[in-house]
Amino acid sequence: MSRHSLRTESPDESRSEEHVNFVISHATPKAISIEQVSQATEEDLQIAKVIEAVQTGRWYKLLTEANEDPELRSYWNVKEELSVSENGILLRGNRIVIPKTLRSQVVKLAHIGHQGVVKTKGLLRSKIWFPTIDCMTESEVSKCHVCQACNPSPPKREPLQMSKCPDEEWTEV
């Protein structure tokens, strides 16, 4: 009897809510508040459609609209990983899905350290997700003069010189 919980709610429900709240609080970039993400999510029509599809399970409507908007196809491809928190924030696994209005701000925040493309992508992917995250990050880093000045240029190689074919077999090894 000592191992039984005294709580009236089921342990699975409370643990899952605690986990979702933990993910949201730790995955939100520190310079952007949860309230900002929540408000931007409410205003984003595309994410509103995805949230409706997640909650109702009616993905066919979203799939028909994906022909007009290719970004919706990205949400369709990861539909099994998507969930909605109680504050109305869309999650992909343990990562927050960032609305369009905050995407450039989030990428710029991640790039502040001028760590290059790979590390900036890694930092972003650990906490957030949105469909064009790789392209936007590469574009931001490629426009950065500091990163371009610090990156070593690839070594220049001399072009390959073809050798003359031997006249007989086994004359050159």
86 vs 14, higher pLDDT: 86
Sign of CA dihedral 52, 70, 98, 38: negative
DSSP string, 56-123: H--HHHHHHHTTT-HHHHHHHHTGGGEEE-TTS-EEETTEEEPPHHHHHHHHHHHTTT---HHHHHHH
pLDDT over threshold 70, residue 11: no
pLDDT over threshold 80, residue 78: yes
Backbone angles phi, psi at 157, to 5 degrees: -110, 145
pLDDT at 162: 82
Burial class (CB in 10 A: 0-12, 13-18, 19+), 67: exposed
Predicted model pTM: 0.69
Terminal CA-CA length for the chain: 82
DSSP string, 6-18: --SS-HHHHHHHH
pLDDT at 157: 80
Altogether, the residues listed in the chain come to a count of: 173
pLDDT over threshold 50, residue 1: no
Asked if residues 91 and 84 have their Cβ atoms less than 8 Å apart, the reply is: yes
pLDDT at 67: 72
Backbone angles phi, psi at 64, to 5 degrees: -70, -30
pLDDT band at 30 (very low <50, low <70, confident <90, very high): low
Q: What mean pLDDT comes out for the span 45-61? A: 89
1-10, 37-46, 51-60, 91-100 — which is least confidently predicted?
Answer: 1-10
pLDDT over threshold 70, residue 141: yes
CA dist 17 to 56, 63, 100, 115, 125, Å? 20, 29, 26, 35, 23
Token representation of residue 53: 């599809």
pLDDT at 29: 60
Sign of CA dihedral 62, 63, 66, 68: negative
Q: What is the mean pLDDT of the chain?
A: 82
